[in-house]
Structures are given as C-alpha cells and as structure tokens.
C-alpha cells in the first residue's frame, strides 16, 4: 500500500476535532458564496440535471426562479429551468449546504460560518419553517412572500443583532444542545431555544419597530428546526477541513438530491460516488403513508458526517418514536456507529453514555468491512412538490456508494 | 518469550471474547467467567469482490 | 404430498450455522411438512435450495448475510406454521443471550477489544473460510486464541502458529474442540477439579476422557491445552503448539506432571516432543493413540490407552507405582459379567457394533480391537480393505465415528444432536448377527443435555428386538464426565443401567469388555 491509511485518518480526525465552527455573519448568497451568479441555482446532494430532479426539488427550483424575478409563473419557470440558461450546482461545491431540496438562489439570505481553526467558511439559507415551504418544493405566492420577508426583515434584523452580540460559538452551542435532548438533525428544539436566547436582548435593543422584532422572535420560536440551518453549516465547515488528505478513507461528504445519494472521500478529492436514493423507513403524520413519500433528500446528512445527528441518537431518545423503537434502540444505534468511526468527539458528548464523545470521522473502510451503514435520522418529504413534511424516520444509505468508493480507493492507493 | 505470555495467562483471570457460537459464551458465564459475545458477520456481508478489495488494503 | 412451497428472505440477518441447523430440525418436525431449509444465503446453501425446489426470485440475489427460511408441505397452513415456528425460534434468540439485555455486541474485533481491553483469550468459531483472518487479528493484538473452526487451510494453520510462537501466544486449533484454561472449560469441555496435572492434547475427546478420569481418581487438572488434530500429525506444522504447550507447562509452577495425548505423530515431531519432555524437569506421561507404549525413558513414561495415561499421571503425582491392569473390577466379576451377557445370545450373534460420538474414543476402541482380534471395519480405518464402503452400513465387526464429516453434512455433531446415533441404533437393531453394541456417552459443556436419555428408547427397542428373535443384545457404555457436569452423571448411569446396559468406568474398559463379549461368540 502506498500510504499510511491510519496516519492519514488520524490527521483527518484531528482536524475535525480541532475545528471551531463559528457564526460570523448573515449575508446573501450573491454577496457571500464564492462563484455565485444570478442564473445559478445551488441544490442539495450530488450533481443532478433538471431532467433528473425529483418533484420537490423541481418545485423548489420553480420557486427560486420566481423569487429571483426570472420567471412570473410556473410554466415560465419550467421553461426557463429546462432551457439550459440556468446552471445547477451542488451547494457542496461552493462551501454551502441546504436542507431538503436545498435550493439556494442569488438574493437569498445565508448564514455565514467560519472554521476559526482553519479559516474555511460555510454557508446555508435560513430555515423557513414547516409545512408549505420552498425546501419541500412549494412555490405558492405565500411561500415567495415569506422568502421575501426573510430577506427584507428577518435577515437584516438578525444580522444587526448578531453584530452587536458578536460571533457565536456554534461548537459550544451544539455541545450544550446535545446534553439537552437534541441530536442536531431531526431534533433541534433545544439549540433553537439557545440561539433565540442569545440574540433576543440584542434584537430588542435594535432601533426597530417593536412588532417587527416580535415577529422575528415569533418566527424563530414557531420553528423547532430553525437551528438545523446552523448545525448543518457548522458540520460542513468542520468536515471540509478534513477534505483532500492523501490516503485518508474518512468520509467528508454525504448528501442526497432526492434522486441520488452521494458520498465523497477525503483521499479521493472531489469525486462523487452515487447510487439511487433510498426510501426512509419511518412513521407518518396522520393522513399520510409510505406511498406518499419522496426518496431521501437533502444535505442535512452532513450532520451525521460531522458526528452528530443519527450518530448522537443516544442523546435524543425522543427521536426513536420515529423509528418505532425504545430508548435502548437509540443507544444501540450510536454504539454501533463507534464501530465505523475513527475517533470519539472531545466536545460533543452524550450524557446517556456516561458523557462519551460522539462517534466522529466515518471511515469508509470500516463501513464496508463491518457492513454497518451510517445511521441517518431524517424527515420525509411528500413526493409531490409543495406539500411538505409527511413523516420522519431512519434511512440506510445505498451500499453501492461505499462499495464504489472503496474500489476507487483501492485502485488509487493499493494498485 | 513464549513461556512468559502463556504462563502469564495462567496467572490471570480469564477474560474472553467470543466470536461465533453463543453457547460457548453462555457456558463460560455459567462458570463465572467474564466474556463478551460478539455479533460477528461475514465481512462485507460475504461479498467476495469487496473482500478481495479489503484484502488489498491489508484487512 | 408436499406441494405447497414458500420461501422468505430476511436481509442482513446473520446467524451461526449450528444454531440454524437446530432450528431447521425443529421446523422439519412441524406436522405436514415435507422439507424445510433455514440457512444463510451462501453459494452452497443456495444450490441446495434449488435442488429442493425451494428457490425463489429473492433467493437468487441472496447473500451470505441474508437469512433464508423455506418450507414445503401438504397444506398452506402447515407451511405457514413452519415459517412462523422458525421466526419464533429466531426471535427467542434475540431476547435472551449471554449478556445483560441491551449490552452491545460488537461486530468487529477492534471494537470488542476496545470494550474489553483486558481480554486475554478469543474463541473463534466462525465459518472456516473467515476464521484465519480473524485469528491473525487476535494474535496481532496480543491475545491467545482458541480456534474451534475447522476447514482452515494447512497453509493458514502453519502461518498462524508461526505468528503465535513468535508472539509467545497460544493458538489452539484449528478444529480444536476442547481446552481447560485456568480451570475454565472452553468449548466442549467438562467441569474438572483444578489440580496439578497439566495436559496438552491434539484430541478434544481425548482431553475430555483423560481429564475426567483424573478427576474421578481424585486429582485435578492445572491446564488442558488443545493443539488441534494436525499439530503433531503434519510434518510441516511440526507440533508447534504441542511444543509451546509443553514449554509453558514446564514453566508453570502449578503443574507437577505433564500429560501429552495425540494421534501418532510425524517422526521428527515425535522426537522434538520427547526431547522437550525429557528437559521438562517433571514427570511426564505420553500417549500416542494407536502406538504401543515404549519403555519409560527417564522422566518420560508411555501409556497404552487413555485410561492408563490418566492413572499413570495420577500415580506419578502421588509418587506411587501404577499397577498395570485391564479392569478395575476383579477378574471373577468380569468373567461372570461376560458369561451373563453371553448366555442368552443366539448362535448367530457374533458381531460388535461400536457407535461413537467422540472420534478419539472410537479410534481407541478400534485400536484395542485391532490389537486383540483384528479385522474391524470402520470409517476411520487406516487399512483400506477395512474401510467401510458405505459408512451408513456396518459390516461384521464395525466401529463408527458418527462425528465424521460424512455424517455431519448439514447436521449438528452427534454430541450436540443425538438423533444421528439414534437413527443408526434403529438401523443396527435389524441385524440379527449383532451381539454387542458399544457406546460412548460424552457429558460436559457443548454436549446434549441428556445424551443417555435421548437414545434410551431406541436402545430399549434394540434389546427388545433381539429378545423377540430369541437372542440378547449386550449394550456396553462408558460415560466421559464428572460429577460437576450439568448432565448429572449419576442419573445418566442410572438411566442406562435401568434398561440393562453395562456402564464401565472408562472407554478403554468398555471397549475391552465389549471385545471380550463379542469374541466369545462366533
């Protein structure tokens, strides 16, 4: 073998552990994201063409084009979307991540995070809330209106408050949330409360209309997943620091676009290994069933890649309701994740496991060897655009991605 | 060298890892011996091509 | 009969094969079921499935990690019943188990070692094709290994033993069924008093027999190291583990006498073993099964059989002389016993049928017979003209090792599952020329919970059948076990004696008695 895989993986793990994801600003995609253009749409998951996009993502693209004023109706938007004039690229190619469809357009406000240890940045849109929202493929007038309010009111006020407050240490906040029943992917209630708590006084002190401020606070309060759009880029700028290490089999990206599931490996650079997205095994909200579900979608699995989410399931026993199990099952899932990771986190700890650090830095080789696939908790979208979340549960990534990646890894490093 | 490790074993409490038939672990427990039962599976789920790839990595 | 077929595939559900065979057996017994398969989706099993017509589109893509449950029966209800029975039995395993409910069971050895950082022994009983790699990992992590798995290549055995020797570790096996380490029975072993006799054995049932006799004589075992059957027999392995074991027992202050049991070794290896024993600084006893005892050579004493080896070791420990003897009971008693067993036999009753579950015990019986009478057939015979053409059919004097591969394809070993022997007993009883049946009853961990009870009905039926023909079937047995074994040795003896079986104190004495009774006929 040409490289010392163990050493390379230790390096990757060490970079992940020493990262300091920090919220530094709110900006817009156009201003902050490198390579962003008016007619470029960023999306969740590995590269995908308009032709291959699933229902919810197409709906989000339509909404995005309408938001940017590039189209006035669904028909116009669809024509434009298919015309070749619009470029589609993964959020991941631009240091960004997006939940569900993950559609990010030029004027959208984005959180800006910086990994203080290594200097790299990451970006994510602000979470719209639940139900009929763009990320689930909705593009009705109220969706566009909300997005505009977020750009005109929510983002500027939060930005001002943030600048008064100063940078927010995301690592510390996530660490606290994990000890309060969150896991950072499917359960974000505690962290959402913490961020509101931090910013509230600064919002109140702003020289702004009281009702405006109240609406901002209310908006965040009504959305238990508000913090998801912060936990995701926090994990993104953390794991990005471990990308491109020669000989490392650490998984630096896992992502889905509703059509394909894709992974990237540290020692294999930018190369994606994809396979058809799988279906989530979960429980459905009243009135919905398995036949209604869209395939697994979103960049939110960056949280598992970063050592939280499904990997910290033992911290969020409430989540197991979605997997139809008992708290002991949540613990067992986390325990089995230790078999496929390089290290244990020194900051993200799980009270139920005697404050053991979460399994961190997924090792492709161990995944394939043990047959233990990364455990992912996720929401389920309706397959028709714009209906919203219909359930939540556990999803297993397709084995093929990992087998293909292993083959490429072996071809490169043990030819 | 050889003798020391084996003779050393003779002076220690037996702490066993059982990889395979569960009854072996059950029997040891009946004899008050510390044993950890593994949940062993064929590597890569028995997939021979993958096993060959893993072998090239020295696994 | 048997036209409904159903097959289920449970993906990613691994279970070990012995467990599945036992479930398979239960499922086949469901009323109305013609055939059933409960197994992992290995290539071999999938072929079997197709031959039985139980394959399906799902089984075509099944992997060795997927569980297949299939049944063929008279009615749909019967087949469903069988499939449900299988699932129930599998689920029972999920809840119970050797650890506290909820304790995590690691998939990888690496994780197991993290969980038990003070582990010092790994028992490996996974399918042979995977075993060598796992053993290497264990040895490289500095752990001793008990390798129960068979079907490990000679090449791997040599390489692993070299690694073990280099690291000063035990690598007991492959195909090592028995060990006693620090007084703990490992795999198929008996609960034996802890004491001062250290044993190194290339035979599992050989180790069981000597350790039990030592216990019965009032002494105990310090350590019982298994080496696997090939260790001394194969010149390339050259007795590596035997020599390691002897060296360790030499160093061990708790061991005062060393006892070595093996099949006849390759010549060079034998020399090395004896040299090592001569330098041990303690009395040593050697029994090479099948070889006549050589005269004593300094501190090294030779025995003719397993019982003599045990008695010799005990005598040396106690500083006593070992009286050579054939039977424990007085000569007159034995003569009377033989007469009594013979007197009701018909003139056509001439032959001995030895039905054994322990390979070494079968060999011991066969060798005794060969030595005294000659011409005994067996599936283990070295003389080609005396190898059974059909192992399932006895010829004249026959001793069968029912644990041989030919009998255990797709079936658990007869020590675990007495039905193989039961079937053979039922077959043998049809032969009016059979005079004596010889059996080994092996107790201890790993063995069936009631080996005597399980065959009692068929033994009784055999005796009845002989009587109905105007003759008498003599059944001689020995019990390899101790009072500490969970099967209750006294109860096992009582059960056998209650139907007129004669229970002798050792396999050697049982074989000798059976021989004497048989030779008195024809």
Check: CB of residue A225 under 8 Å from CB of residue A195.
Answer: no
Yes or no, beta carbons of A371 and C106 under 8 Å apart: no
Tell me which chain C residue has its CA closest to the CA of residue B26: C98
Measured between CA atoms, the residue of chain B closest to residue A3 is: B57
Fold of A241-413: v583 fold (3.90.1700)
Mean pLDDT across the stretch A251-273? 97
Phi and psi at residue A98, in whole multiples of 5°? -145, 135
* pLDDT interval class at C14 (50, 70, 90): confident
Locate the domains of chain B by residue range: 2-56
Separation in Å, CA of C441 to nearest CA in chain B: 19
Q: Which of C164, C197, C201, C167 is nearest to C186 (CA)?
A: C201
Which is more confidently placed, C91 or A271? A271
pLDDT in tens, A245-256: 999 999 999 999
The 8-class DSSP code of residue A152 comes to I
Alpha helices, DSSP H only, in A19-119?
Answer: 29-32, 55-67, 74-83
Query: Which CATH superfamily includes the segment(s) A22-231?
Result: Enterococcus faecalis V583 domain (3.90.1710.10)
pLDDT value, residue B1: 47
Is the Cβ pair A332, C102 closer than 8 Å? yes
Subunit contact C168:B26, Cβ cutoff 8 A: no
Is C106 close to A339, i.e. CB distance below 8 A?
yes
Contact list in A for residue B19 (CB cut-off 8 A) is none
Give the Cα separation of A245 and A196 in Å (integer): 37
More confident residue, A79 or C17: A79
Mutate to test the interface with C, among B37, B38, B51, B52 (most CBs of C within 10 A): B38
DSSP H helical segments within A124-277, as ranges? 141-149, 155-165, 170-178, 189-204, 210-221, 228-240
Residue C282 burial class via C-beta count within 10 angstroms: exposed 0-12, middle 13-18, buried 19 and up: middle
> Domain segments of chain A: what residues?
22-231, 241-413
What pLDDT score was predicted for residue C94? 56
Q: Do A372 and C110 touch (CB under 8 A)?
A: no
Q: Report the sign of the C-alpha dihedral through residues C326, C331, C335, C340, in that order.
A: negative
Identify the residue among A5, A313, A329, A338 best suited for mutation to test binding to C, counting C beta carbons within 10 A and taking the highest.
Answer: A338
Say which of C134, C184, C446 has its CB closest to residue B19.
C134
CB distance C65–A371 less than 8 Å?
yes
pLDDT for the residue B45:
85
What does the alpha-carbon distance between residue C204 and residue C225 come to, in Å, rounded to a whole number? Answer: 10
- Res. A332 pLDDT band, cuts 50 70 90: confident
Checking if the pLDDT of C325 tops 80, the result is: no
Note the pLDDT tens digit of each residue in A188-235. 999 999 999 999 999 999 999 999 999 999 999 999 999 999 999 999
pLDDT along chain B (59 residues), means of 10: 79 96 94 96 90 91
φ, ψ (nearest 5 deg) of residue A118: -115, -10
- A152-164 pLDDT tens trace: 999 999 999 999 9
CB contact under 8 A, B10 and C248: yes
Handedness of CA C303, C306, C311, C316 (dihedral sign): positive
What mean pLDDT comes out for the span C407-415? 86
CB A34 within 8 A of CB A95: yes
Residue A389, H or E segment: strand A389-395
Q: Which chains touch B (3 or more CB pairs under 8 A)?
A: A, C
* CA atoms within a 13 Å half-sphere pointing along the CA-CB vector of C418: 21
8-state DSSP, A52: G
The pLDDT value recorded for residue A326 is: 76
Exposed, middle or buried: residue A84 (CB in 10 Å: 0-12, 13-18, 19+)?
exposed
| Chain B residues in contact with chain A using a Cβ-Cβ cutoff of 8 Å | 41, 43-45, 47, 50, 53-54, 56-59
Q: Cβ contact (<8 Å) for C108 and A369?
A: yes
Per-residue confidence at C504, pLDDT binned at 50, 70, 90? very high
Question: Is C466 or A333 the better-scoring residue by pLDDT?
Answer: C466
State the nearest Cα–Cα gap between B59 and chain C, in angstroms: 8
Whether residue B38 and residue C252 make contact (CB cut-off 8 A), yes or no, is no
Q: Which residue has the tokens 């029997």?
A: B27
């Amino acid at each position: 073998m040409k490289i010392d895989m163990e050493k390379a993986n230790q390096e990757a793990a060490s970079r992940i552990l020493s990262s300091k994801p920090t919220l530094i600003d709110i900006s817009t995609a156009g201003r902050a994201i490198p390579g962003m253009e008016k007619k470029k749409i960023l999306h969740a998951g590995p590269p995908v063409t308009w032709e291959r996009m699933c229902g919810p993502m197409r709906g989000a693209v339509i909404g995005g084009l309408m938001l940017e004023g590039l189209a006035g109706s669904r028909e116009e938007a669809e024509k434009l979307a298919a015309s070749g004039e619009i470029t589609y690229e993964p959020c991941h190619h631009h240091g960004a991540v997006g939940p569900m469809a993950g559609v990010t357009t030029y004027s959208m406000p984005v959180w800006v995070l910086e990994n203080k240890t290594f200097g790299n940045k990451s970006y994510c849109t602000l979470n719209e809330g639940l139900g009929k929202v763009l990320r689930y493929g909705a593009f009705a007038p109220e969706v566009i209106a909300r997005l505009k309010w977020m750009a005109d009111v929510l983002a500027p006020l939060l930005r001002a408050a943030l600048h008064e407050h100063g940078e927010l240490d995301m690592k510390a906040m996530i660490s606290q949330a994990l000890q309060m029943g969150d896991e950072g992917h499917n359960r974000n209630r505690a962290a959402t409360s913490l961020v509101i708590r931090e910013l509230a006084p600064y919002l109140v002190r702003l020289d702004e209309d009281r009702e405006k401020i109240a609406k901002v606070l209310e908006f965040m309060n009504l959305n238990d997943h508000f913090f998801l759009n912060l936990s995701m880029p926090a994990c993104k700028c953390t794991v990005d620091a471990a990308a491109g290490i020669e000989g490392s089999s650490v998984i630096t990206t896992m992502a889905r676009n509703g059509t394909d599931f894709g992974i990237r490996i540290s020692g294999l650079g930018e190369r994606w290994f994809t396979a058809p997205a799988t279906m989530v095994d979960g429980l459905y909200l009243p009135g919905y069933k398995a036949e209604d579900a869209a395939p697994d979608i979103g960049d939110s699995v960056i949280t598992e890649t970063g050592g939280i989410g499904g990997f910290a399931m033992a911290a969020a026993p409430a989540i197991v309701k979605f997997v139809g199990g008992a708290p002991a099952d949540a613990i067992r899932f986390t325990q089995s994740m230790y078999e496929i990771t390089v290290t244990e986190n020194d900051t993200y700890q799980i009270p139920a496991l005697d404050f053991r650090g979460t399994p961190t830095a997924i090792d492709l080789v161990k995944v394939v060897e043990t047959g233990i696939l990364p455990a992912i908790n996720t929401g389920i979208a309706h397959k028709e655009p714009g209906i919203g979340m219909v359930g939540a549960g556990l999803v297993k990534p397709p084995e093929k991605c990992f087998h293909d990646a292993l083959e490429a890894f072996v071809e490169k490093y043990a030819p | 060298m050889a003798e020391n490790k084996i003779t050393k074993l003779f002076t220690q409490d037996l702490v066993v890892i059982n990889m395979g038939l569960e009854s072996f672990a059950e029997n040891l427990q009946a004899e008050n011996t510390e044993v950890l039962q593994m949940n062993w599976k064929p590597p890569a789920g028995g997939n021979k091509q993958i096993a060959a790839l893993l072998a090239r990595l020295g696994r | 009969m048997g036209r409904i077929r159903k097959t289920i595939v449970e993906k990613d559900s691994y279970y070990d094969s012995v467990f599945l065979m036992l479930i398979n057996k239960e499922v086949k017994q469901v009323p109305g079921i013609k055939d059933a398969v409960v197994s992992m989706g290995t290539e071999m099993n999938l072929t079997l499935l197709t031959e039985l017509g139980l394959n399906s589109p799902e089984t075509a893509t099944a992997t060795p990690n997927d569980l297949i449950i299939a049944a063929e029966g008279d009615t749909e209800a019967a087949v469903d019943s069988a499939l449900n029975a299988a699932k129930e039995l599998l689920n029972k395993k999920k809840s119970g188990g050797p650890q506290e409910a909820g304790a995590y069971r690691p998939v990888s050895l690496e994780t197991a070692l993290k969980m038990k950082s003070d582990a010092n022994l790994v028992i490996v009983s996974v399918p042979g094709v995977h075993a060598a790699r796992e053993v290497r990992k264990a040895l490289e992590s500095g752990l001793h290994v008990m390798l129960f798995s068979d079907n490990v290549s000679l090449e791997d055995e040599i390489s692993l033993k070299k690694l073990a020797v280099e690291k000063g570790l035990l690598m007991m096996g492959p195909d090592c069924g028995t060990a006693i380490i620090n007084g703990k029975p490992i795999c198929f072993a008996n609960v034996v008093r802890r004491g001062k006799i250290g044993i190194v054995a290339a035979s599992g049932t050989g180790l069981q027999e000597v350790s039990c006799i030592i216990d019965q004589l009032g002494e105990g075992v310090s350590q019982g190291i298994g080496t696997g059957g090939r260790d001394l027999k194969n010149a390339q392995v050259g007795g590596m583990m035997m020599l390691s074991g002897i060296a360790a027992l030499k160093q061990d202050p708790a061991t005062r006498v060393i006892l070595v049991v093996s099949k006849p070794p390759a010549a060079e290896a034998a020399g090395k073993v004896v040299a090592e024993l001569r330098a041990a600084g303690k009395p040593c006893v050697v029994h090479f099964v099948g070889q006549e005892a050589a005269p004593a050579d300094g501190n090294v004493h030779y025995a003719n059989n397993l019982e003599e080896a045990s008695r010799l070791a005990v005598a040396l420990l106690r500083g006593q002389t070992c009286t050579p003897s054939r039977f424990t009971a007085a000569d007159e008693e034995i003569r009377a016993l033989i007469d009594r067993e013979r007197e009701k036999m018909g003139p056509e009753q001439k032959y001995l049928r030895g039905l054994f579950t322990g390979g070494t015990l079968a060999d011991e019986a066969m060798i005794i017979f060969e030595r005294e009478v000659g011409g005994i057939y067996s599936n283990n015979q070295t003389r080609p003209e005396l190898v059974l053409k059909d192992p399932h059919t006895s010829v004249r004097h026959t001793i069968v090792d029912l644990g041989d591969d030919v009998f255990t394809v797709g079936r658990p070993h007869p020590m675990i599952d007495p039905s193989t022997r039961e079937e053979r007993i039922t077959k043998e009883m049809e032969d009016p020329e059979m005079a004596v049946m010889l059996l080994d009853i092996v107790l201890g961990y790993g063995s069936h919970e009631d080996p005597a009870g399980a065959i009692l009905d068929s033994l009784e039926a055999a005796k009845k059948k002989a009587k109905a023909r105007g003759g008498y079937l003599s059944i001689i047995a020995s019990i390899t076990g101790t009072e500490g074994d969970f099967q209750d040795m006294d109860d096992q003896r009582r059960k056998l004696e209650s139907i007129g079986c004669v229970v002798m104190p050792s396999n050697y004495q049982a074989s000798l008695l059976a021989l004497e009774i048989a030779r008195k006929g024809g």
